[in-house]
Amino acid sequence: MIYLNNAATSYPKPESVIKAYTDALRSLPSGQFRSAGVSDNADSFSLCRQRLGRLMGIEKWDRIYFSSGSTEGLNALIAGLGIRADQVISTVTEHNSVLRPLYNLREDAGEPVLLHCNENGMVNPELFEAEAQQGRAKAVILNHCSNVTGAIQDIKAFGEIAKTYGLIFILDVSQSAGCMAIEADESNVDALAFTGHKSLMGVQGTGGYYVREGLELKPFKYGGTGLDSRKIRYDGTDYEYEPGTQNAPGIAALAEAANWILEQGIDKIRAKEKALSDRLIGGLSSMEQVKIYGSGLSERGPVVSFTVRDLAPSDLAYILQNSYGIVTRAGLHCAPLIHKFIGSGEKGTVRAGLSYFNTEEDIDALLTALKEIVSSIN
Amino acid sequence: MIVKIKDRRRSLEACTESGWDAVDLLTEEPLSDEDIESLRKFEGSFLYLKQLKKPFFKIEGHNYVIKGVKGDPFFRFAVHRDHVDEIDKLVDMINRTDR
């Protein structure tokens, strides 16, 4: 089976990550403050935070908190910052892990302002500035890299505007962390959410969020933390953000995954994935019946969305998987609003999500299959 | 249809048929040309791409879609959420057909 669904979850993982996970399971558990802390895993949490800080350009890595993934991280940020939805500027490129909390977490909180994107999925920062100037918003939430078109937003521009107008800047790096440089501090990012199991090469059920020092975040989860069990009520200045036993083997794996990425080098990973997506787009462009979404992007993440004329995306993905053994994903990709703007409509697209472990042969196999499919329809 | 449906499982790609329910109907034997051609009796447009590495078929009715690949021991039945009962009707219809 050829796996081209890495934008959903990456596969395979580096061997060292698998080893780190199984080693953690075989070792005595880390205490996580709850016992004598007999295992070396007691340090893997800090190690993981440090490495993630390096990957995401965050100096205060101790302000990175673990969660089950981006979804929980975004919910924690959106709920915890105490902002009404109608005080938020976001975009039509967002994933449901941003849209659904905004529209559902609080009743009578109004609706966010959603900035439109162009046919490639790019959001013009000037639109953001025009909206920020209105003075109504307190925060902006931005998807760094579209999981549909691969469009990479200009986070430096967004960060400058957010800073100018005093908006909290929240960045969703689910698709970008681990496959491209993220300069969070330099871009005035106040908070971000990340997931461990996509380009960060960790396991499902890991991820987290960052919130800068000085930004008040009220948790929406409370429980045991292994620190001062006598404290039942927090006074608002001493919240703890990792209640409950954390996914220690997952965090150990994520620590190793971050190390693997640092050792490979982000630039090298980016270059390889770019070469693969360029190869794919080059081949798709030669097929007149194929439409590529985001074809006008000068740079993109490792995601390529396309459709074949006269064939529903769900059928195309079904054929690719069951007739040709190539795994992709079809549909709206949990980003329901972008499709109107990029022209993919109600049925969405077929998406190839590439990883560092994909090969030219994988791309060529997909192109060969598509040529046969297109030919059979004609 | 010659082959009987022996079981069903929830489609692992429910999101692909966004807003619809989909199940995979597991067959006793891999699907043959005869099995696929016999599905023409179900109301809707019929598509059969025989030239593919493993030929793909699809029947699209008003509230349902049946699709699969020749040689697989299952095919997919997607139905609009308001018509979930159509799944049982389809299974009955297939299993009652002369063999």
Query: Residues 78..97 of B with a Cβ closer than 8 Å to A: which?
Result: 78
Q: Which positions ≥6 away from A364 have C-beta within 8 Å?
A: A279, A283
Average pLDDT over all residues of chain A: 94
Higher confidence at residue A123 or residue B98?
A: A123
Higher confidence at residue A88 or residue B19?
A: A88
CA atoms of B45 and A117, how far apart (whole Å): 36
The whole-number pLDDT of residue B98 equals: 46
Q: Do B55 and A323 touch (CB under 8 A)?
A: yes
Nearest-CA distance B54 → chain A (Å): 5
Q: B51 contacts in A (CB within 8 Å)?
A: 372, 375-376
Answer yes or no: are the C-beta atoms of A83 and A168 closer than 8 Å.
yes
Nearest-CA distance B15 → chain A (Å): 7
B69 touches chain A (CB under 8 A): yes
Residue of A nearest to B78 (CA): A314
CA atoms of A83 and B87, how far apart (whole Å): 45
CA atoms of A161 and A131, how far apart (whole Å): 10
Residue of A nearest to B18 (CA): A331
Q: What is the pTM of this model?
A: 0.94
Does the structure show a pLDDT above 70 at B16?
no
The whole-number pLDDT of residue B38 equals: 87
Answer yes or no: are the C-beta atoms of A357 and A179 closer than 8 Å.
no
Nearest to A90 by CA among A29, A11, A21, A171: A171
Q: What is the pLDDT of residues B24-37, one digit of tens each?
A: 999 999 999 999 99
Q: Do A317 and B13 touch (CB under 8 A)?
A: yes
Q: Of how many residues is chain A composed? A: 378
B17 touches chain A (CB under 8 A): yes
Sheet holding B45-49, edge to edge: B5-10, B20-27, B74-80, B64-69, B56-60, B45-49
Q: What is the pLDDT of residues A236-285, one digit of tens each?
A: 878 889 999 999 999 999 999 999 999 999 999 999 999 999 999 999 99
ipTM of this complex: 0.91
Nearest-CA distance B25 → chain A (Å): 15
Q: Do B13 and A369 touch (CB under 8 A)?
A: no
Answer yes or no: are the C-beta atoms of A138 and A87 closer than 8 Å.
yes
Question: What is each CA distance from B37 to A113, B22, B31, B34, B46, in whole angstroms?
Answer: 52, 22, 10, 5, 9
CA atoms of A75 and A77, how far apart (whole Å): 5
The whole-number pLDDT of residue B17 equals: 58
CA atoms of A44 and A61, how far apart (whole Å): 13
Residue of A nearest to B54 (CA): A323
Q: Do B53 and A372 touch (CB under 8 A)?
A: yes
Nearest-CA distance B70 → chain A (Å): 9
Average pLDDT over residues B48-76: 93
Q: Indicate the residue of A315, A348, A375 with minimum beta-carbon distance to B58.
A: A315
The whole-number pLDDT of residue B86 equals: 79
Nearest to A75 by CA among A100, A111, A41, A112: A100
Written as tens digits, the pLDDT of chain A (378 aa) is 999 999 999 999 999 999 999 999 999 886 565 554 445 555 889 999 999 999 999 999 999 999 999 999 999 999 999 889 999 999 999 999 999 999 998 888 899 999 999 999 999 999 999 999 999 999 999 999 999 999 999 999 999 999 999 999 999 999 999 999 999 999 999 999 999 999 999 999 999 999 999 998 998 899 988 778 888 888 887 888 999 999 999 999 999 999 999 999 999 999 999 999 999 999 999 999 999 999 999 999 999 999 999 999 999 999 999 999 999 999 999 999 999 999 998 999 999 999 999 999 999 999 999 999 999 997
